[in-house]
């Protein structure tokens, strides 16, 4: 799982503001990243240089974002919209703030519930650069 490790390292290094959500119910992972990117371009052009990472647990999907100070409002806006348009059944905020230590602690706590599913993507996120 070196890719997961690289996502975690990137989340730890990038941005000052962090958000973690737990998505439950029907979750359309293909639309999750695409619609977030489209919404940022249209409604939140001030959000730049962010990184996101998602992974499956037994009963949910955990999605984490790090970026600039405008990111928190953009993610909240997106999660409300994601429920309305059927990308997720529910979206509960697990963490939001500037404390990188608390963010990483919460993310690592959530990662203990990581549950890969056979023959399907179990994690993903922003594109990672070359090693």
The boundaries of the domain holding residue 84 are 2-123
Distance of CA 106 to the CA centre of its chain: 13
The pLDDT tens digits for 32-56 are 989 998 998 899 888 878 999 999 9
The pLDDT tens digits for 55-64 are 999 999 999 9
- Both tokens assigned to 44: 């939140």
Residues 43, 78: Cα–Cα separation, whole Å: 10
Residues 29, 64: Cα–Cα separation, whole Å: 14
For residue 28, give the 3-state DSSP assignment.
Answer: coil
Percent of the chain with pLDDT over 90: 75
CATH of the domain at 17: 3.30.70
- Would residue 93 count as lying in a domain? yes
- Would residue 19 count as lying in a domain? yes
- Would residue 77 count as lying in a domain? yes
Please name the residues in contact with 102: beta carbons below 8 A apart, sequence gap of 6 or more: 95
Q: How many domains does the chain have?
A: 1
Q: What is the pTM of this model?
A: 0.92
């Amino acid at each position: 799982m070196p890719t997961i490790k690289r996502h975690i390292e990137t989340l730890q290094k990038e941005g000052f503001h962090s958000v973690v959500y737990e998505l439950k119910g029907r979750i359309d992972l293909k639309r999750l990243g695409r619609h977030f990117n489209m919404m940022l371009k249209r409604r939140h052009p001030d959000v730049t240089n962010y990184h996101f990472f998602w992974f499956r647990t037994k009963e949910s999907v955990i999605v984490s974002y790090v970026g600039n100070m405008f990111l928190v409002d953009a993610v909240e806006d997106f999660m409300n919209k994601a429920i309305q348009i059927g990308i997720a059944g529910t979206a509960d905020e697990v963490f939001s703030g500037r404390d990188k230590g608390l963010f990483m602690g919460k993310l690592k706590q959530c990662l203990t519930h990581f549950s890969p599913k056979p023959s399907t993507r179990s994690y993903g996120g922003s594109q990672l650069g070359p090693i």
